[in-house]
């Protein structure tokens, strides 16, 4: 019997505890907060996230709290034009073998927590901030803020964006400020005009800003989340802001979008941050997971899904004696890094797609509106359709260790039947300037990228080394050079 410590009791930490306990390990979850609780609003779960929950034994319970989404609707937030919608109906569910849903974050967390509480072998310790770790001969010592420590056979750092374990393992300093503020409010659905009620996740795209909303809590509330590239002077998180600030930021949007924003009250604001992807997340018997490993902008709506996927893969790989943990954690890292880095790039690339203006926005609309549901499905197949959560086979070596005779099957490869049709986007007559470097936002040179990247070749993993950990370093990729520098792709 092995003991595995998990630093952080968020979605990723609790999911890992479930996955590891299911393999017969004792798990101690050390959470710094005095209570195990998660607030917050809606969270989207694509079929890959639902499949991970299924693997954790929670599919039925999640099904009871989930609101199936009818479509992902993309609107031009300036003209009000309905550009395109990806139906999430039976065709989608048949193809990806699960639904696309929205759940209340607090309700999802409660399910994970209840499952942990009722599973033998999981111990939940609140008010236990972890500050670091020390290697021992055949174990790891988990260092706590009060000077106490805990011996374990492995440590999983699931302590989020500002992870103490990452600080020691990677040492890459503070997160990167994306220069974007996201505002959030929740509105009772009865206050929403009937003609603006849709069981969809809706994007209103505008110049330098966009607005997403979706129903949550069984459709009883509408979750509003507008974002603006307004280069905030300092980083803040969850601060109250007056409605007038929000309405001022989004005054250029069309009437329907503004009517919805005007319903918002008790607005809170966050400055968006992420980190550059790194190649190495492990140090012997210590590994990172979820936002501690690959913090990304929330624009792909996949951070929690990735944490859930991580947990499932971790559980599969740590189905072994403690003496194999270090090697297996290295495999977990190898299996997961390319997929999570690709989602990270997708989230950053979404900014260019959603925040385009003028000719670039017209070209985007023209391209998107010409796409059929099947074509849209093709483009998300690599993300929504995977059942094994592993990275690209072309950069991830075959996971087979004859000595241990314990393969982790590589999934996530593009099924030949799912290879999408490359499209050459057309330009509108007014987008003649597209391609000029003069105005990157208003006249980008288009390739299908970001959300609509059909068959992107994985970038080679040749990172520079971090001084703190020779295994770690940014995943060099032309697409991951930062929000402001991202090439304008559609």
Q: Does 348 bind ligand FAD (CB under 6 A)?
A: no
Based on CB atoms, which residue is closest to ligand FAD, 35 or 234?
A: 35
CA dihedral 458, 460, 461, 466 (to 10 degrees): -120
Report the C-alpha gap between 85 and 87 in whole angstroms: 6
Strand partners for 216? 221
72-75 LR contacts (CB < 8 Å, sep 24+): 72/100, 72/200, 72/201, 72/203, 73/198, 73/200, 73/201, 73/202, 73/203, 74/203, 74/205, 74/368, 75/202, 75/203, 75/204, 75/205, 75/257
Based on CB atoms, which residue is closest to ligand FAD, 271 or 363?
A: 271
Single out the residue of 9, 215, 264, 449 in contact with ligand FAD (rule: CB under 6 A): 9
> In degrees rounded to 5, what are phi and psi of residue 311?
-60, -40
CA dihedral 474, 30, 144, 161 (to 10 degrees): 30
Among residues 311, 294, 292, the alpha carbon closest in space to that of 53 is found at: 311
Interacting residues with ligand FAD between 114 and 143 (CB under 6 A): 129-130
Its sign, for the CA torsion 331, 336, 338, 339, is: positive
Give the count of residues interacting with ligand FAD (CB under 6 A): 32
Q: What is the smallest separation between the CB atom of 470 and ligand FAD, expressed in angstroms? A: 24
Single out the residue of 17, 21, 31, 461 in contact with ligand FAD (rule: CB under 6 A): 31
Binding mask 143-162 for ligand FAD (x = CB under 6 A): ---------------xxxx-
Single out the residue of 153, 229, 291, 378 in contact with ligand FAD (rule: CB under 6 A): 291
Q: Does 19 bind ligand FAD (CB under 6 A)?
A: no
Single out the residue of 182, 217, 224, 390 in contact with ligand FAD (rule: CB under 6 A): 182
Based on CB atoms, which residue is closest to ligand FAD, 280 or 444?
A: 280
Single out the residue of 12, 449, 463, 474 in contact with ligand FAD (rule: CB under 6 A): 12
Q: What is the smallest separation between the CB atom of 12 and ligand FAD, expressed in angstroms? A: 3
Q: Does 30 bind ligand FAD (CB under 6 A)?
A: yes
Q: How many C-beta atoms lie closer than 10 Å to residue 383's C-beta? A: 22
Q: Does 274 bind ligand FAD (CB under 6 A)?
A: no
Report the C-alpha gap between 82 and 76 in whole angstroms: 6
Q: What is the smallest separation between the CB atom of 434 and ligand FAD, expressed in angstroms? A: 31
> In degrees rounded to 5, what are phi and psi of residue 272?
-80, 135
By CB under 6 A, name the binding residues for ligand FAD. 7-13, 30-33, 43-44, 49, 129-130, 158-161, 164, 182, 290-292, 298, 301-305, 307
């Amino acid at each position: 019997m092995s003991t595995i410590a998990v630093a952080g009791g968020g979605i990723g930490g609790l999911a890992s505890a479930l996955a590891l306990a299911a393999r017969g390990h004792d798990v101690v979850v050390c959470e710094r907060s005095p209570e195990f609780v998660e607030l917050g609003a809606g969270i989207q779960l694509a079929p890959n996230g639902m499949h991970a929950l299924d693997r954790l034994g929670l599919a039925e319970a999640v099904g009871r709290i989930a609101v199936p989404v009818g479509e992902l609707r993309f609107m031009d937030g300036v003209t009000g034009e309905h550009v395109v919608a990806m139906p999430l109906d039976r065709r989608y569910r048949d193809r990806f073998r699960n639904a696309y849903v929205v759940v209340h974050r607090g309700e999802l967390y409660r399910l994970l927590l209840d499952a942990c509480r009722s599973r033998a072998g999981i111990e939940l310790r609140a008010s236990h901030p972890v500050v670091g770790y020390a290697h021992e001969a055949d174990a790891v010592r988990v260092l706590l803020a009060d000077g106490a420590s805990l011996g374990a056979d492995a440590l999983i750092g699931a302590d989020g964006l500002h992870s103490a374990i990452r600080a020691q393992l990677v040492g890459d300093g503070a997160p990167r400020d994306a220069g974007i503020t996201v505002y959030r409010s929740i509105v009772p659905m009865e206050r929403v005009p009937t003609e603006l009620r849709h069981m969809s996740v809706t994007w209103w795209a505008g110049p330098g800003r966009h607005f997403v909303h979706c129903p949550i809590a069984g459709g009883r509330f509408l979750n509003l989340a507008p974002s603006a590239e307004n280069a905030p002077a300092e980083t803040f998180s969850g601060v109250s802001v007056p409605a007038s600030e929000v309405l001022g930021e989004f005054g250029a949007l069309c009437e329907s979008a503004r009517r919805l924003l005007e319903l918002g009250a008790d607005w809170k604001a966050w400055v968006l941050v992420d980190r550059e992807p790194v190649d190495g997340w492990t140090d012997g018997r210590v590994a990172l997971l979820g936002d501690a490993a690959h913090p990304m902008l929330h624009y792909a709506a996949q951070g929690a899904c990735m944490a859930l996927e991580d947990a499932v893969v971790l559980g599969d790989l740590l189905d072994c004696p403690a003496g194999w943990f270090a090697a297996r954690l290295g495999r977990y890292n190898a299996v997961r890094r390319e997929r999570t880095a690709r989602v990270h790039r997708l989230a950053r690339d979404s900014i260019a797609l959603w925040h385009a203006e003028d000719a670039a926005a017209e070209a985007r609309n023209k391209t998107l509106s010409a796409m059929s549901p099947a074509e849209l499905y093709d483009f998300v197949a690599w993300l929504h359709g995977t059942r094994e959560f592993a990275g690209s086979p072309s950069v991830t070596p075959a996971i087979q260790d004859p000595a241990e005779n314990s393969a982790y099957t590589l999934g996530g490869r593009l099924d030949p039947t799912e290879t999408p049709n490359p499209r050459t986007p057309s330009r509108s007559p007014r987008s003649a300037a597209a391609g000029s470097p003069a105005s990157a936002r208003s006249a980008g040179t288009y390739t299908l990228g970001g959300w609509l990247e059909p068959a992107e070749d994985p970038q080679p993993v040749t990172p520079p080394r971090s001084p703190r950990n020779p295994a770690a370093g940014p995943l060099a990729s032309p697409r991951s050079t930062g929000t402001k520098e991202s090439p304008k792709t559609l």
